[in-house]
Amino acid sequence: MKTKTLTLFSLASLTLLIIYSCNVTNGSVSTLNNTICSNYTDMSTLEVDLIRTMTNKYKDNQLSDINDSSHTPFTIANGDTRAIWFDLETLKAFIHQIEIKAKNNATPVQSKDLGIRIYYASYPDSAETYNDLNGVNGNYILPSIYQEHHTLVMIPTINRRVGNVNIDADFNPSDPATYIKPISSVYSTNPSAQIPALTGVRSSSSNNTGAQNHGSLAPPHTNSSMSF
């Protein structure tokens, strides 16, 4: 199995966007136990030179190794993905839905106990078709420009007590069973179940629970707008 690594800066930037994005519904922010958005401190910053150093080290080392020895027929032309872009509203909507559904649970969850785990991932090839990949360039089957390129998948997490330790576990805010049990066991007999997730393509499923799947990869899309 090929090991694929995302650009450090892409991951750091996306994480900062997630942390500092707030959603205000109908021009107001609820208060007390129903608070959705907190008053965060100033946004974290990084020196331009540090960002350039980190992204260059990734391109010269991990990405170079991937493109030299682990490329696939689909990534050989332009190299593997090194950055993923999401629009801000998609990120805010994803966070908003996680918080709203968790707070409306029979046992409300505080925002401090919620999080997002970012998985490194790789798109399947054309032999593997999934309805959730419908919509990429208007095609039902994943186009070759996306096939086997690396990407990321974001999944909601909840902090819960397991034995003598607290863990941040993947969960489905709309399914109370996943608040106390692992997703892997809850959906072991239903692998087609929909759970909230965010990745680099749009989902076709109208009943996705909180899924807001929009994004673009570079490569294969142009990287002319990228600074690093």
pLDDT digits (tens, 9 = 90+) for 178-190: 999 999 899 988 8
CA angle 148, 15, 227 (to 5 degrees): 75
Long-range contacts of 177-180 (CB under 8 A, 24+ apart): 179/105, 179/107, 179/109
If we measure between CA atoms, which residue out of 110, 115, 96 comes closest to residue 169?
115
Taking only the tens place, the pLDDT of each residue in 67-99 is 776 556 666 666 777 788 888 888 899 999 999
pLDDT band per the 50, 70, 90 thresholds, residue 60: confident
If we measure between CA atoms, which residue out of 16, 92, 82, 87 comes closest to residue 55?
82
| Residues in CB range of 223: below 8 A, 6 or more apart | 82, 83
Q: Please indicate whether residue 218 or residue 227 has the higher confidence score (pLDDT).
A: 227
Residues of the chain above pLDDT 70, percent: 59
Please give the structure tokens belonging to residue 217.
Answer: 């990869």
Q: Is the pLDDT of residue 121 over 80?
A: yes
Q: What does the pLDDT read at residue 66?
A: 74
Q: What does the pLDDT read at residue 114?
A: 95
Is the pTM higher than 0.75?
no
pLDDT band per the 50, 70, 90 thresholds, residue 115: very high
If we measure between CA atoms, which residue out of 12, 21, 9 comes closest to residue 56?
9
Please give the structure tokens belonging to residue 161.
Answer: 């007590």
Return mean pLDDT, the chain: 72
Q: Is the pLDDT of residue 169 over 90?
A: yes
Taking only the tens place, the pLDDT of each residue in 22-53 is 443 333 334 344 555 555 678 888 899 999 99
